Structure 1
Amino acid sequence: MPLRPLPLVVALLSASAALAHSGVSNPAVKARMHTMMQIADNTKVLGDMAKGKTAFDAEAARAAAAAIAAHSASVTALFSAEEQDPKSEALPAIWQDFETFSRKSEALTLAAAEAAGSIQSEADLKPALAGIGGACKSCHMDFRKPQ
């Protein structure tokens, strides 16, 4: 996976998630959005290190990856009920093919958990981020409204 688009993906995730939260009235949708924002914020930590915007810190990188794994582990449960809100970015395809959605969510959890256990040096960061970003993109392509 080319890494150049990754900073753009991280920036778009953060910006769109922040804007999407305003005006959400359904508490279940708000909880889902909060979890996704936590994932985006921690992905941004890794992306900023990969771009050189912040200094590489192996402990902080592992902590961010672990946080992504922890938050993504709850995604399937958060989406188990078909809750909607006008501000929701979730597509009905989630509930039409919940098995695939769950599998893709699990792929993110596994990629982030692997990253949390493997990032030791700056050289480990970009492959770890590519795995996390690839899992996010795979799910968003099928199950999130286009931005």
Structure 2
Amino acid sequence: MKQIKSCLSAVVVTACLGTVVLAHGGVKNAAVMARMDAMKSIGDAVKIMGTMNKGTVAFDVETARTAAKTVALHAAQTPLLFQAPETDPKSEALPAIWDRFDDFSAKAQSMEKAANDLSQSLSTPEDLSNGMIQLGATCKACHKEYRK
């Protein structure tokens, strides 16, 4: 079971990190760069939790809670960051974001809720593992519809 959860953790980290780091180079639009920076911060926080979940780094409840809070903070800012349909050749945001902005915003709110719930309920490595599965589902739901 631990091996399955570790594998799921790797999927979660991959879903949340994606290729944002590679996409930053050459971005000229400041609004797009701000969005990319926020997504990178989410990915970095998920990576912290993912390495703990896989056992690569020792579990530390306060560090994991802080990482979950970071995800929640940036998820809460996401609708505002995407409100204007700004574009850049390096952007991975699909036009569907603005066509279905209410749904996009709801998905960001789901991520915020999952991250807040995790930050508040997190006590054990098992809590982290279960919470990351829920958090990863929110990443995947948004990326599936709204990211190239």
Residue 6 of structure 1 and its aligned partner are, at CA, apart by 3.5
Counterpart Cα distance in 2 of 1:57 and 1:86: 40
Q: What is the aligned length?
A: 145
- With over 3 angstroms needed to count, the CA separation of the structure-2 counterparts of 1:138 and 1:31, relative to structure 1, is same
One of 123, 141, 144 as aligned partner of 1:138: 141
Residue 75 of structure 1 and its aligned partner are, at CA, apart by 0.1
Partner of 1:42, secondary structure, is helix
Alpha carbons 1:3, 1:130 under 8 Å: kept: no
Counterpart Cα distance in 1 of 2:12 and 2:62: 23
2:93 is the counterpart of 1:105? no
Residue 4 of structure 1 and its aligned partner are, at CA, apart by 2.0
One of 13, 25, 29 as aligned partner of 2:28: 25
Residue 14 of structure 1 and its aligned partner are, at CA, apart by 3.5
Counterpart Cα distance in 2 of 1:3 and 1:98: 33
One of 15, 38, 41 as aligned partner of 1:38: 41
> What CA RMSD, in Å, does the superposition of the two structures yield over aligned residues?
1.7
Give the partner amino acid of 2:121: S
Counterpart Cα distance in 1 of 2:53 and 2:84: 36
Give the partner amino acid of 1:58: V
2:90 is the counterpart of 1:76? no
Residue 15 of structure 1 and its aligned partner are, at CA, apart by 6.0
- With over 3 angstroms needed to count, the CA separation of the structure-2 counterparts of 1:51 and 1:2, relative to structure 1, is closer
Kindly indicate whether structure 1 or structure 2 has the higher relative contact order, using CA contacts under 8 Å at least 6 residues apart. Answer: 2
TM-score by length of 1: 0.93
